[in-house]
């Protein structure tokens, strides 16, 4: 039996990732408060963390209509992580492992968001009036 993510479980992922990212990035801001360049590098991370929290709380309403927007933010956050990794002068094995794990999580979220969005769209179409299996039986033949 394969475990499948639900909108609720994905929402929990987003909230956890958003909270951890916010804590980490705010900590980085205070740690780098004397270096403007490093603080500016941390600001997008705060933005992504807030976006992830928003996704966590609003995912069910975002899925059918705004799936591509959510996916674009996820891809942008992955690109941001890669850029940060490349800009880190002393990035080692631990940082590379963190990057790979983060990218795998992003890929996992994107895949499940696409699947859930498709499933919700099919359910919505099936629930519309006149969308029964025999809807084509009443059409005139030409």
- For the chain, the structural domain boundaries read 7-128
pLDDT of residue 135: 47
Choose between 13 and 138: higher pLDDT: 13
pLDDT of residue 49: 96
Structure token pair of residue 115: 């699947």
Q: pLDDT tens-digit profile of 59-108?
A: 988 987 899 999 999 999 999 999 988 887 777 888 889 889 989 999 99
Residue 98 CA to residue 121 CA, distance in Å, equals: 34
Choose between 94 and 48: higher pLDDT: 48
Asked if residues 74 and 110 have their Cβ atoms less than 8 Å apart, the reply is yes
pLDDT of residue 139: 46
pTM: 0.80
């Amino acid at each position: 039996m394969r475990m499948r993510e639900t909108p609720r479980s994905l929402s929990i992922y987003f909230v956890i990732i958003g909270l951890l990212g916010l804590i980490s990035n705010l900590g980085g801001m205070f740690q780098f408060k004397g270096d403007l360049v490093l603080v500016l590098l941390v600001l997008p991370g705060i933005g992504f963390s807030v976006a992830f929290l928003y996704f966590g709380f609003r995912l069910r309403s975002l899925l059918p209509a705004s799936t591509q927007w959510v996916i674009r933010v996820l891809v942008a956050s992955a690109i941001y992580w890669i850029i940060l990794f490349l800009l880190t002068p002393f990035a080692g094995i631990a940082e590379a492992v963190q990057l790979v794990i983060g990218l795998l999580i992003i890929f996992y979220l994107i895949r499940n968001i696409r699947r859930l969005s498709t499933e919700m769209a099919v359910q919505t179409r099936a629930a519309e009036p006149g969308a029964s299996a025999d809807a084509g039986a009443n059409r005139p033949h030409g």
